[in-house]
Amino acid sequence: MIREKLFVTGIGTGVGKTVCSAVLARYFEADYWKPVQSGDLHYTDSMTIKDLTGNDVFCHRETYRLKLAASPHQSGAEEGICINTDDFSLPETQRSLIVEGAGGLMVPLSDRELIIDLIEKLDLAVALVVKNYLGCINHSLLSIMAINQRELQLKYLILNGDFPEDTERVICSYVSIETTIIRIPDLDPPTKENIEKTALDLFNKYKPQRHKSFLP
């Protein structure tokens, strides 16, 4: 069985990282981990993943659960907490693991460290989620540039939703041939059923392994 350990980040906030993480978790039969949850403690991203995947995905507990819905450095400061990347270690699991970040690569964890520093510390390949909006090309290319400068592996570029042909062509032209481009349709609203269907569609297209849960 192929085991992946991926850090899912986005070109910004609200691009669909959690929904894409749910699809990837089902596709790879993976566990899920959100290292930092800032705000929405009544309905966290881990809870969303459970609702979208049921018992098929195990969600590991967050390292930080912060009350304020803001950048982690601000949420932590409100509670007298200074987040340090040395505080994080990957959960132990025999399965694949999908790790979801907060916002984009340059979101600060503290005054000295960013999300991209956490990716580097955890030594994970990156899955970058892109959504179409005015400015998405700029944000995508800046994110790709930052990943390359840190010499991180951009393993997957995830195009979330519909894209104009010209926008998609420009963004995809800046990734290497080693990067797999995954297209996920606009799942609005996301449900357990369409997450499962999308994961199955990806499996039928890419066939990384024979997932027992997708066999008839």
Residues annotated in a binding site: 14-19, 38, 45, 100-103
CA atoms within 13 A on the CB side of 172: 15
Q: Which residues are documented as binding site for Mg(2+)?
A: 18, 45, 100
Can you tell me the distance from the alpha carbon of 106 to that of 88, in angstroms, rounded to the nearest whole number?
18
Catalytic residues: 34
Residues near 100 by beta carbon (within 8 Å), at least 6 away in sequence: 7, 8, 17, 18, 21, 32, 33, 34, 45
Annotated binding site for ATP: 14-19, 45, 100-103
54 conformational bin, left if phi > 0, alpha if psi -120 to 50, beta if neither: left
Query: What are the CA-CA distances from residue 209 to residues 2, 164, 165 (Å)?
Result: 7, 32, 31
- Annotated binding residues for substrate: 38
- Cα→Cα distances 23→130, 147, 191, Å: 15, 23, 11
Which amino acid appears at position 58 of this protein?
F
Residues ≥6 apart with Cβ < 8 Å to 212:
none
Count of alpha carbons within 13 angstroms of residue 108, beta-carbon side:
10
